Chains A and B, each alone.
Chain A
Amino acid sequence: MSIVTVLELIPLLGVIGLFALPKGSTKLIKQFSIGVSLVDLIISVVMAVRFNRGVSAMQFVESRTWISSFGIKYAVGIDGIALVLILMTTVLVPIVLLAGWNESENGRWSPRVYYALILILETMMVGVFAATDVFLFYVIFEAMLIPVYFLIGGYGRGERAQAAMKFLLYSLLGGLLMLAAVIGTYVIATNQIGSTFDVTALSGLHIDSATENMLFLGFFIAFAIKAPLWPLHTWLPTAAKSATPATSVLLLGVLDKVGTYGMIRFCITLFPHAAHTFTPMIIVLSLISILYGAFLAIGQRDINGLIAFTSISHFGFITLGIFAMTSQGLTGASLYMVNHGFSTAALFLVAGWMASRRGSTKIEDFGGLQRVTPVMAWAFFIAGMSALALPGLSSFVSEFLVLVGTFTRYPLAAIIGTTGIVLAALYVLLTVQRSLHGPTTPGNESLSDLNIREKIAIAPVIAILVIFGFFPKPITDVLNPASHEVMTHAGYVDPQPKAGK
């Protein structure tokens, strides 16, 4: 059995254990769940250590027949991109569990259900990044909606039911298009190489260009909804405003990455020609996302809405990097996925603590927090600096790589994208000014600062942001072979310096 499968099974076993625990011991349930996620974290670290970084092929592969009549397999395996995303997942889950210690208690169902849902989600998140069988990927891609739906609808706040429904319907629409494309690909595969859903086998198909374009769009629209790309983004702010901080972190930090990850793993790998055809359109959409998300973030009054729109802007950068098709762009985009996961996590968690103390998510209800709750204010400030990609924090490395990578192929797009850094400064600093600076808003005088548990939860996130800002090499070393493989397969090479010798 592959270590990836172990990684998927542990949270599931944890869920069984969760229901075996005695009733009425909420604290035990919490500790147990965090314990399970920590075990998963340790195993994923072991996996990362054993990962061979010089190899671009899939590692830790496992393949078992699932539905033999359709050639469907339980097939998993990871390359560098999947590895870092899985690591990000396993790091984030214990952190959000610890950070959202009390989130489970005001829900529609018991805390036990909440923790079971999150652990099930962890299994699926690992599985979706590891799946190398298109059908398996599709099943997990869709099944992930269920725990998130219940987490938003059952434990969220405000208009949580509507938000959950909107999220579900959007995602199902994308899933439907993707299902059609999966079936279409399967039919073509059956005619050419026999029935299989294996992504490597499928990537060698010869598809006529009209069909390839249709299939590409089927996948792409599903992923563009997931990773929200303008104009398919409107579910995200609604969901972020209603979900609990922990759910928001997992939703924006990890689940949405499935969209951008899918673009690399499936859209580009399976349909390289169609990807080439649609690149101009996608780059335009990415640029619109970058600027539009930033403008809307500036106009937001709700702190969670703000974070959601900054994410839309950042997802624009990620898709820009992916479709620039240079090694800097691809590695930068993959790195951006990880960094965005952590910086969004920091933002959502601190914003969640601020909101739960103040009892409001309106930015104008805060003010002067730096004098009242200095540690919380600093945590928010650093998270904000990461969102505006300050050099020295990890998001700078990825954002810059994306822009440099884009510039070498599409200079104009990079120039337009670069203006986003001014807007980023505006939306972060406006929020910092309104919530942390200025005189203390009446009602905030007696807010309490972060407690030990919250400090322990946020410290690793900030440490990761700082450490990988100065030393991103461990991650880029893992990503480089994988992005090179993707590029080579799609038939691209890096542009050469123009003023060559």
Chain B
Amino acid sequence: MDISNYLYLSAILFTIGAVGVVVRRNAIVVFMCVELMLNAANLAFVTFSRINGDLVGQVASFFTMVVAACEVVVGLAIIVTMYRSRRSASIDDASLLKR
């Protein structure tokens, strides 16, 4: 199988994630789309690692995973707090910064 198919898949996943971030309002879904983009990146890293025949890409993907895990912790905490305070998980309600 052509190894570049993994890259296409990675691109498709990334695009789906990106579109999701832009168009969805629910914070959880936006969040999951961000995760999807990170994982698309991971897939690309691993693929390139395979292509290049070294472990640099794999190591990078581990970094990404760690960062993603941290992000999940912080992000979910924010979403939960937001939901508690205003009974909604819509990110459009959180547009207070513009004022």
A–B direct contact (CB < 8 Å): no
